[in-house]
Amino acid sequence: MSRIGNKPVALPSGVKVAVKDRTVTVEAGAKKLSFTHRAEVKVAVDEAARQVVITRKDDSRIARAMHGLTRALISNMVVGVTAGFTRDLEVNGVGWTAKLQGRKVALNIGYADVREVEVPAGVAVEITGNKIKISGPDKHAVGQLAANIRAQRPPEPYNAKGIKYAEEVIIRKQGKAFAGGGA
C-alpha cells in the first residue's frame, strides 16, 4: 500500500487544478505547469475540500509504482507554481568565471574553449561573482540545468576546483606524500 500515494495533495488558495483526459494542469497567476499521467492511476480534483486525490485502478506492480510517483509529481507542481524551486552552484578555481549570454550560460573553467549550457524556457539564472542561482517553477528543469552545468567540470578532491552545489561538501584528499632521501 502506497503511503505517499494515499495522501491527498492540498491546494493553497489561488491554485487552480484542471484534469482533462490524462493531462493535469496546475496554475497560479502567470505560472502554469502540465503533466500527463499514466493510465494505471486516476486523478480527481475535490473542489469542496481543496485537494487532489490520486487512486490506482488495480494492484499491479506498475500501478503501485505510478501511484506514489504521480502524487509526488503533482505535489511538486503545486509547490512550484506557489513558491518555486532554486538550486545554487559555486564555481571554484583561479580565474574561472560564469557569464550569462542571452539564454546560455558561458563557462570559462580551465578548458581551451568556453563551455556553453542552454537555459530552458521557464528557468531563470542569476550569476553574481562565482555563484550561480537557478530558479523556476519546474523542479525537474531546475535540477537538470544545475546537473548539466555541474557536469561541465565536477569538483575534484585534491584542489577542490570545479563546479559544485552550494550545500555540497568536498572531502579533500592529501595527494602524494614525498619521502625524504632518495637512492
Query: Rounded CA gap, 53 and 71, in Å?
Result: 8
Query: Rounded CA gap, 86 and 26, in Å?
Result: 19
Q: Does domain 3-82 have CATH number 3.90.930.12?
A: yes
Query: Would you list the domain boundaries of the chain?
Result: 3-82, 85-165
pLDDT for the residue numbered 142:
97
User: What is 85-165's CATH superfamily?
Assistant: Ribosomal protein L6 (3.90.930.12)
pLDDT for the residue numbered 5:
86
Per the structure block, which three cell numbers stand in for 7?
495522501
Most distant CA pair in the chain: distance in Å? Answer: 85
pLDDT for the residue numbered 11:
94
pLDDT for the residue numbered 179:
62
Residue 4: band (very low, low, confident or very high) from pLDDT cuts 50, 70, 90: confident
Q: Identify which of 131, 124, 79 has the alpha carbon closest to the alpha carbon of residue 103.
A: 124
* 22-45 per-position pLDDT tens digit: 999 999 989 999 999 999 999 999
